[in-house]
Structure 1
Amino acid sequence: MKQYMGCLVWWAAAMSPAHAQADAPSAPALRTEFVFGARIKVDKPLVIGQSAHGLRRVVPIVGGTVSGPALTGTVVPGGADWQFVRPDGVVDVQAKYTLKADDGTLVMVDNRGVRHAPPAVLERMAKGEHVPANAYYFRTTARFEAPLGSKYEWLNRAVFIGVAERHPDAALIRFYRVD
C-alpha cells in the first residue's frame, strides 16, 4: 500500500500544472495574418420563429466582393446565414456560401460564429441602423474547401478567424489565417 501511495503522489506531482509547464516543449506563439476581406451582401432575414434553440432566422446571401493580398473575386449569390438568437441574446451564425476567385476558381465557405451586444445596441441593429463595430462582439471561424491542385488549396490546411461587422445590407468579414 505504501508503494501504491508513493506512486500516486508522484503521479499527482507530475500532472500538476507547474510541472507540466516546466516539462512541456515550448509551443510556438499564435500569430495571425490577414488574407482577405469579404463584403457579403444580404437580403432581408426570413424569420422562421421560435425554436428549441431560440428565434430562428435565415438571411439570404445575394452576392458581394472579396479582396485582399491572398484572394480577390466575388461572393456567388445563393448562400445563406442560418442563425438563431439564443435566450441570452447571443446570435449564433452559420453561413454557407461560395466565393469565386478572379481566375474562376470556386471556393466553398462554412463560417460559424457569435455576435452579441448590449440590449440598446441590439435594438439599433434590429431597426436597420448602422452601428460601429466596436459597439458589439462579432467573431467567426471559417472552414474553406478549395479544389485540390488549385492555387487556393492552402485554404484547406489552416485555421481562419473572422473579425466581422454587421451592416444593414451586408456583413464585412476580415479573414485571418492562424499560424
Structure 2
Amino acid sequence: MTMAPAVPQLAPLFDVVVELGSPHDLGVTRVGHRRIVPILGGTITGAVDAQILPGGADWQRLRADGAIEIDGRYSARTAQGEHLYLQVNGVRSGAPSVLAALGRGEEVSPMEYYFRTSVTVETSSPGLTYLQDTLLVASCVREHSSVRYTAYRVA
C-alpha cells in the first residue's frame, strides 16, 4: 500500500511590521545591483509578541527585469527578554510601472505586485523553539517606510 503525503495547509502564525530607513544604493557589484535597506524597528504580534530591534537590514539585489531579491535579517525581543533572529528571503516583482511607483514610496495595492518570502527563526528560548521547527511563508506589503507581512505556518 502506498501512502500519499499530507497536503500542505497554511495557518496564520504572526503579523510583522518592519520599519525601514532610507536605502543605501551600492550600484552594480559582481553579483548585480546591490541595495541595503536599514531596519529601524517594528513589531511582531500573534503567536509571539516582540519588538524588532534596530540594526538589521535587507540586503537586496535588484534584477535587470526590475524585480528585487529579498535577503532581510533582523532580531527581536519579547517582553520577557527572549530573543529571536529572523531571516526573510524572497522576491518582489511586478510590472515596471508598479515597481517604479513602489520605489518612489507611493501607495500601491498589493494585488498589483508579487511579494512573497520564506521566514526562518532562530531562538534560544525553550518556549519558542517550535518556531525553529516549522516552515514559514509570508505574503508581504510594501508601504512608504515599512514592510508588513503575515507569516503562515505550513502545516
Rounded to whole Å, the distance in 2 between the matches of 1:156 and 1:163 is 19
Q: Does 1:77 align with 2:50?
A: no
8 Å CA contact retained: 1:82, 1:95: yes
Matched, 1:172 2:131: no
Paired residues for 1:31-110 under 5 Å: 31-68=9-46, 70-110=47-87
Q: 2: CA distance between counterparts of 1:146 and 1:113?
A: 21
Calculate the TM-score normalised by the size of structure 1. Answer: 0.83
Superposition deviation, residue 103 in structure 1: 1.8
Q: How far apart are 1:148 and its partner, in Å?
A: 4.9
Higher-Rg member (1/2): 1
Same amino acid, percent of matched pairs: 30
What amino acid is aligned across from residue 167 of structure 1 in structure 2?
A: E
DSSP 3-state at the match of 2:55: strand
What TM-score does the superposition give when structure 2 sets the normalisation length? 0.95
The alpha-carbon deviation at position 146 of structure 1 amounts to 1.3
Higher helix content, 1 or 2: 1
- Contact 1:83 / 1:93 at 8 angstroms: preserved in 2? yes
SS in 1 for 2:98: helix
RMSD over aligned CA atoms reads 1.2
Aligned to 1:147: 124
How far did 1:51 drift?
Answer: 2.1
Bigger RCO (CA 8 Å, 6+ sep):
2
Runs of 4+ in 1 over 6 A off after TM superposition: none
1:159 counterpart letter in structure 2: L
1:21-69 residue CA offsets vs partner (Å, 9 max, x unmatched): xx6421111011111011000000000001233221000000011111x
Is this contact kept in 1: 2:83–2:125, CA < 8 A? no
Mapped pair 1:136 → 2:136:
no
Q: Report how many aligned residue pairs link the two structures.
A: 155
Query: Which secondary structure state, in structure 2, belongs to the residue aligned with residue 95 of structure 1?
Result: strand
Distance 2:51 2:21 in 1: 17
Which residue is equivalent to 1:30?
8
Q: CA deviation at 1:135?
A: 0.9
Which of 120, 135, 139 is matched with 1:159 structurally? 135
